[in-house]
């Protein structure tokens, strides 16, 4: 019988990660898996509440275990010191993501707007920047395809800079994560 009590998904530049937490309230067991790989196991824990800390890539994560009423527990995930909701909201502001299929391979391209790093399927890419009349183009290696991320001003102060992925002269629509 599985003691799975919580499942979360977080989006990081190197990909999406599924975190599963098992909590055996009779055995005291705690198990954390990330992407199907067990990263933490504790057996015979007598204290059923508390916290477990671990890393997913460069992100510091903490699962909080709090008693509600009787033998009911609440499980929350903090990422880099923020609640999962606040972390996800912040990630959507600092990351742009595109999902496309290249040569029958599902491909995820991520731009970290705060560092201007580009990730393709979890691998950080070497880039070359180029100034244009409209803004900038950041070129990167994308197999046999030519690819770049174009950054242009929206002309509106509230919107700021608009980023677009262009692969073989085709603009790819942004994915919502």
Question: What is the SS3 assignment for the chain?
Answer: CCCEEEEEEEEECCEEEEEEEEECCCCCCEEEEECCEEEEEECCCCCCCEEEEEEECCEEEEEEEEECCCCCEEEEEEECCEEHHHHHHHHHHHEEEEEEEECCEEEEEEEECCCCEEEECCEECCEEEEECCCEEEEEEEECCEEEEEEEEECCCCCCCEEEEEEECCEEECCCCC
Q: Place 177 in a pLDDT band, splitting at 50, 70 and 90.
A: low
| Of residues 159 and 52, more confidently modeled | 52
Q: Is residue 157 scored above 80 in pLDDT?
A: no
Q: Is residue 122 scored above 80 in pLDDT?
A: yes
pLDDT in tens, 36-74: 999 999 988 778 889 999 999 889 999 999 988 877 899
Q: Is residue 1 scored above 60 in pLDDT?
A: no
């Amino acid at each position: 019988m599985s003691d799975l009590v919580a499942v979360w998904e977080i989006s990081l530049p190197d990909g999406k990660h599924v975190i599963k937490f098992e909590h055996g309230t009779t055995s005291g067991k705690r198990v954390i898996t990330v992407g199907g790989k067990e990263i933490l196991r504790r057996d015979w824990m007598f204290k059923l509440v508390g916290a477990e800390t671990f890393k997913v890539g460069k992100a510091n994560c903490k699962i909080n275990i709090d008693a509600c009423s009787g033998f009911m527990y609440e499980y929350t995930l903090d990422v880099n010191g923020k609640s999962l909701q606040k972390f996800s909201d912040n990630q959507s502001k600092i990351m742009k993501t595109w999902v496309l299929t290249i040569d029958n391979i599902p491909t995820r391209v991520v731009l970290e707007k705060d560092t201007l790093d580009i990730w393709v399927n979890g691998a950080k890419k070497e880039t070359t920047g180029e100034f244009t009349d409209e803004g900038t183009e950041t070129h990167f290696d994308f197999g046999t395809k030519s690819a770049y991320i174009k950054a242009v001003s929206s002309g509106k102060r509230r919107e700021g800079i608009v980023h677009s992925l262009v692969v073989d002269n085709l603009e790819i629509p942004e994915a919502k994560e």
